[in-house]
Every structure is written in C-alpha cells, then in structure tokens.
Structure 1
Amino acid sequence: MNRPPAPHRIFTACRATALAAAVCLTVAGCSVFGGTDSDSDTGTSGASGGGTKVALITHSAEGDAFWDLVRRGAEVAAAKDDIELTYASDPDPAGQAKLVRDAIADKVDGIAVTLAKPRAMRGAVAEARAAGIPVVALNSGIDAWQAQGLLGFFGQDDSVAGRALGDELDARGAEHALCVIHERGNVAVEARCAGVRKTFGGRTENLYVDGTDMAAVTDAITAKLRQDPTVDEVVTLGAQFALAAVDSVDEAGSKAQVATFDLNKDLVKAVRSGDIQFAVDQQPYLQGYLAIDGLWLYRTNGNISGGGVEPVLTGPAFVTKKNIAGIAKFAANGTR
C-alpha cells in the first residue's frame, strides 16, 4: 500500500475482580480502538497485574474488527493469569518492529507478535530474545516462527485453509474464482489464495485491492465482475470484504457466489440469509487467548505449547448454513 499507515494504537488491560468484567483499558496511543462493544468495559479494576507484563503487538490496521476478537481473547487470558497486558498495533512493518523495541525498552516479561511481514520483524524479534524476553507468534508467520527462534505459534495454517476452501469450491461446482487480496505482501493472506489455486479444479484469479478503503474495494470487485461475467465465485480473505463483495455482486448484476475466510457477527447474518455461502473461521479469539496463556504457562511452569516444534492450530473451521445456529450466540457476544 502506498498511503501512510494509520497511527498505531496501544491499550493496557489489567486484572479485574471477576473474569466477566476482566478488562480495564487505558488509552496511551494516538487514536482510539473505536466501534467495539468492549468500549463499555473501561471501568477501573484497581489491580496490579501480578507484576507480570506482556505485550501483544499486531499488524492490525485502523478499524479492522477482526483484531477486536484477538484482543478480547487475550484480555480474558490476561485477567485469568493476573497479567498486565498491553496491546499495540501498526500496519506498517517498520512501525510494528518499533513497537516490539518499545516493549523491550519497557522491560516486559513476554511478547506475543504477528509475523505478517516476517523479514521486517526478524531484527526486533532477535533483540527481544537477546534481552531474555520469551516471544510467541500468533495469527501469521507459521512458516517463520521457528526460524526466528520463537517459543510457539498459535493460529491457522493458511495454506491448508486455502486448499480446504478450494476443495469446497469444487464440491459446489464453481468454475472461476476471484480471490480478493486486501493487503499485498502479507504472507498469511497470500498463502490463502495460493492454497485455493493448488486444489481448486477451476480457474483461480487474484485481485489486489486497498483494504484500507472499503469503497475502493467494492468498486474494484464490481468493475472486475462487470468486465468478466465468467467469474462465478468471489473469495475474500476477511469478513468485511465479503460483505463488500455481496454489494459488488448486486451492483454488477453478477450471478457469482461469495465465500470468505474469517467471521464476525454481521457475516453470521449473511451466512444465515444465504448472501454468503460459507466462511472459513480461524478463531481469532482463541489465537489471542492461547498466545497470552502460553506465555504465562512458560513463565510459571516452563511449558512450551506444541513442544516448540509444532504450531498450535486454531483453524480452519468451516461455518455454513447448517451449523451457523450454534455459532451465532458466540458471534453476538463478540467472541466469534
């Protein structure tokens, strides 16, 4: 992306008296994490965090609701484990690396980090390890975490998920899939479309869009569908992009179906109504929870999830019209 990245965001979560009211957020960044139900949880808890400080540092862009789910899972684990949790994000890899270095300077006791752009994070991660700070990866970087010496990885193998989605498209009789990539160079999202291409028997074509501009995303998909009416399946890599694709299909007068990776409560409604065929859920809440809990287990009991040689997989989990009812209540709570 050529536009300057949005300012990073930083949040601190503290121990609550009860797990149900686990989160105390103190804004210390340049902008607020707006538009989430958890904004109402900003009361004081008066807790010390048990003396253990952990930083969760992601590549999230401003306003991406996916990361709300990751953060909520991390906050619940932090509350359970009596950890003082700081959350920070920057979509620019250099900015994300700086956040890791800031956490090192803050003398945190552990770091959980996403490796969407692994090469850019290598130096900062090495500095954390040299400082004796345990580091785990989550969400992205399944092919990089071991090489960079991290303790573990919590997330989805996006290549496996992409291949599973390709098989599903074959089963549904699709012939020409348009895979919409909203962040060029992000190893996780690129792997999804590459996985689809490996197993899907029809034609797979990538469309790169600017995921920070939803109007532009809709326009780009609409234009492509008008240009090529043979596209009968639009595959998106995030819930909000799937909902935009539904609008694009309508605007283009296309007969294409829409399938997606990832889930949120609005997408649940779209799957239930049939506007979205299915979603491949990587369970982001679980990623955040396991990453923080994994660091706590390492510090308190020397446990290494996956033995340091295998990733802890949180997906893919297929969500269809057949099983959507059992997931809807969790999505409404903001945890799926």
Structure 2
Amino acid sequence: MNTPPPPHASPGFARLVALAAAACLLMTGCSLSVGSSGSDADAAGKADTSRMKVALVTHGGRGDAFWDLVRRGAEAAAAKDGVDLTYANDSDPAGQAELVRDAVRDKVDGIAVTLAKPEAMRAAVSGARTAGIPVVGINSGIDAWQAAGLLEYFGQDESVAGRAVGDKLDDLKVGHALCVIHERGNVALEARCAGVKKTFSGQTEMLYVEGTDTDAVNTALTAKLRQDTSIDEVVTLGAQFALTAVASVKEAGSKAHVATFDLNKDLVKAVRDGTVQFAVDQQPYLQGYLAVDALWLYRTNGNISGGGVAPVLTGPAFVTRTNVATVAKLAAAGTR
C-alpha cells in the first residue's frame, strides 16, 4: 500500500497556498503563516500592527519653503517605514521646547529636533531622555547634540560650509562681503558667517535683520548698500532672503552680487538666470528623511548612524549655473 505524500509535498497543497497568498494581497491587514506555531503567528501579527510614533519638532517659521522640504523628506521616510509622523514647529525657543514636552506626554517612540538655541532646549530634551524616548538632531546644533545626549545628528557643518563659501568668494575676487543674519542668536547662522570670515581674505561684515519681516529686511539691506558702496557681495543665509537681497541691490543702485545658503524653487531660477551667483544646498529633504529613518532603524535594528560620535553630513553642495539644470528638475519634483 502506497503512503500518500505529506501535505507540504503535495502539488495541490502548494497551489492552495499560492491562491491563499494571492487572495491575501487583496485584503488589508491580512497575514499568512504556513508551518508556524501559534506563538510565532501571534508575534508576526503584533509586528504587522505595531506602528512607531515619531515627532519632528523644528524651530522653522511658518510658511518657510525650507522647512516644507524637511517635512516632505520626513513624510517620505515615514511612509516607507510605516511610521505615524507628527510635525510641529515654533520659531520661539520656549514654544519649541514645549512642543517637545507635548511629544513626551504623547508617549511617542522617537523625537527628531533642531537645536537652534541649544540651551533653551536642554531641559525638554533631557525630559525626553528620562522618559526613555530616543532623540536625534537635525539641521541645527552640530556642536551641541552630543552634550545634549542625542543619539545622532543629520545636517550640515555650518562652519565648514561657511569656510567653503569664503574660499568661493576669494575665487570670485570679491573684496567686501556683507553676511546677512536673519535670526540673532541662532548658532547655525552665526557659524555660517563666522566660517566665511575665517577663510575669506577680503572684508567680512555682519548685518542683523528681522527675518520674520520681509519689508524690514529689504529696508535695512537697501540702506546699508546705499551707505557703503564698497560692498560687492551680499551673502544671505536663506533662499528667500537672497531674493529680497536682489531687490535691495537694485533699489540701492548697488553693483553688489548676491550669493546664498539654502535653496528653493525660486532660487533655482535665480541661479539659472544669473541673478544669484550660487547657492549652498544642505539638502533639507535628506535631513528630514534620514532623521525619521534613523529612529525607525534604531528601534527595529539597534542601528546608530555615525556610531553616536560623528554627525552625518548632508552638505555643503554648491549649486551654480553649471549644474543648476539637474537641480531644477529635482526642485520641480519638490525634493530639492
């Protein structure tokens, strides 16, 4: 008497499994386990339904296209990893710190935060760590993230970027550069201008303006350019301020050129037509993406980018008329 083959060797059984798998793909929340114990199946079910909660808390101002890119990158990573992402921002450091505390109270699984004003954020970040919530830094605070106890940092070394701009200005034979700081006390912005001054062989002068008021920025910059005709380069620290600077140069009747840190769609056009000489792109989309993905990797696999001792740099990348066409395509897609 022939013994029938075991079910796992049966062609009919194999076809049945294939059909079940195909049907499963058409259903939401379906999981299929063949030859698993009940405990394994239960564990798989829990893994499928568990969603990590991440809060991204920045100091970005409302309506700033730069932070829209950061958020877009974070949302792309969240979609890929199955993460529930919340985004909150407040340009006031006390308000930003309170948003971090809100995230702790919400019992999120991870927080990504900017440290534009490190001291103001110290207590809130410490509270998150005490609650056992991993925190990573992005964009601002490259000199403060380790002391604050953050796991990782994703961004541009602003001092390195500033020094690169200083070298670029020397190549362009600039004599007198005006570095426009649109937020007093922001460590990242201060580091940019300090870096420019360190390597630029000409004269570097700082101008502080109120970045939340475009008209005030234009008025202050125009007045400065009229007052000092020796200024032959205006260096701004944000794309929208570069476009304002272009208008100020024209109003003042100045011969100064304009260069900037950071990028947006309108700035790409300005580089392409030569209105702005160059831009330094720190890739904000990448910063947001890496921060969320890093928190997911830490929770699911224990990974720490940079080993917790070195930042992961996303810039500087120079955008000039020679490479702007490629960047323009990405900007149109909303990722640069």
- Taking structure 1 as the reference length, the TM-score comes to 0.85
Tell me what 1:218 maps to.
218
- The AA in structure 1 aligned to 2:79 is A
Distance 1:220 1:63 in 2: 22
Q: Give the whole-Å Cα distance in 1 for the aligned partners of 2:49 and 2:284.
A: 24
1:308 maps to 308
Give, in angstroms, the shift of residue 293 of structure 1. Answer: 0.3
Q: State how far apart, in whole Å, the 2-side matches of 1:194 and 1:280 are.
A: 16
Distance apart, 1:285 and its partner CA: 0.2
1:201 aligns to what? 201
Partner Cα separation in structure 2 for residue 51 and residue 232 of structure 1 = 54
Counterpart in the other structure of 1:62: 62
Name the structure 2 match of 1:270.
270
RMSD, aligned α-carbons:
0.9
Give the letter aligned to residue 58 of structure 2. Answer: T
Partner residue in 1 for 2:110: 110
Residue 142 of structure 2 corresponds to residue 142 of structure 1: yes
Aligned to 1:260: 260
- Which amino acid letter does the alignment assign opposite residue 99 of structure 1? L
Q: Given that residues 49 and 84 in structure 1 are in contact (C-alpha distance below 8 angstroms), is that contact kept between their aligned partners in structure 2? A: no
In the alignment, the residues of structure 1 paired with residue 200 and residue 289 of structure 2 have an alpha-carbon distance, to the nearest angstrom, of: 33
Give the CA deviation at 1:49: 8.3
Deviation at 1:203, TM superposition (A): 0.3
Q: Which amino acid aligns with 2:111?
A: I
* Mapped partners of 2:163, 2:92: distance in 1: 28
CA distance in 1, matches of 2:98, 2:243: 33
What amino acid does structure 2 have at the position aligned with 1:195?
G
Distance 1:254 1:332 in 2: 32
Taking the aligned partners of 2:202 and 2:49, their CA distance within structure 1 comes to: 53
Letter in 1 for 2:117: K
For 1:173 and 1:247, locate their aligned partners in 2 and report how far apart those are by CA, in whole Å: 23
Partner SS, residue 69 of structure 2 = helix
Per the alignment, residue 159 of structure 1 pairs with 159
How far did residue 234 of structure 1 move?
0.1
Which amino acid is the alignment partner of residue 201 of structure 2?
G
Letter in 2 for 1:142: I
What amino acid maps onto 2:173 in structure 1?
A: G
Alignment gaps of 5+ in structure 1: 1-47
Q: With structure 2 as the length reference, what TM-score do the two structures score?
A: 0.85
Residues in 1 aligned to 2:77 and 2:207: alpha-carbon distance in whole angstroms: 37
Equivalent in the alignment of 1:128: 128
CA distance in 1: counterparts of 2:304 and 2:165, whole angstroms: 31
SS in 2 for 1:289: helix
Aligned to 1:293: 293
State the one-letter code of the partner of 2:220: A
Which one has the bigger helix percentage?
2
C-alpha separation between the residues in 2 aligned to 1:232 and 1:80? 46
Give 1:334 shift. Answer: 1.4
Q: Is the 8 A contact 1:271 1:278 kept in 2?
A: yes
Q: Deviation per CA, 1:144-175, whole angstroms, max 9, x where unpaired? A: 00011110000000000000000000000000
User: Which residue number in structure 1 is paired with residue 9 of structure 2?
Assistant: none
Residue 80 of structure 1 corresponds to which residue in structure 2?
A: 80
* 1:165-199, Cα deviation, whole Å (9 max, x unpaired): 00000000000000000000000001000000000
2:87 aligned partner, one-letter code: Y
Residue identity opposite 1:315 in structure 2: G
2:245 corresponding residue in structure 1: 245
Q: Give 1:51 shift.
A: 2.1
Q: Are the aligned partners of 1:57 and 1:96 in contact in 2 as well (CA < 8 Å)?
A: yes
Tell me the secondary structure at the aligned position of residue 161 of structure 2: helix
Q: 1:100 to 1:256 in 2, by over 3 A?
A: same
For the pair shown, which has the larger CA radius of gyration, 1 or 2? 2
Deviation for aligned residue 1:219 = 1.1
Q: Distance in 2 between matches of 1:125 and 1:49?
A: 29
SS at structure 2 position matched to 1:318: strand
Corresponding residue for 1:97?
97
Q: Distance in 2 between matches of 1:112 and 1:145?
A: 11
Q: 1:50 deviation in Å?
A: 4.2
Distance in 1 (CA, whole Å) between partners of 2:158 and 2:204 is 16
SS at match of 2:244: helix
| Equivalent pair of 1:176/1:203 in contact (CA under 8 Å) | yes
Note the alpha carbon deviations across 1:272-319, whole angstroms, 9 max, x for none. 000000000000000000000000000000000100000000000000
Distance 2:81 2:217 in 1: 40
What is the CA–CA distance in structure 2 between the aligned matches of 1:253 and 1:93, rounded to whole Å?
38
Matches of 1:62 and 1:326, distance apart in 2:
28
Structure 1 CA distance, aligned partners of 2:93 and 2:81?
30
Pair 1:258–1:61, CA change in 2 (3 A) = same
**Counterparts of 2:334 and 2:218 in 1: how far apart (Å)?**
25
| Residue pair 1:49, 1:82 contacting (<8 A) in 2 also | no
Partner of 2:187: 187
**Any runs of at least 4 consecutive aligned residues in structure 1 with deviations exceeding 4 A, and if so which?**
none
- Provide structure 2 residue ranges, at least 5 long, that are not aligned to the other structure: 1-47
- Percent identity reads 77
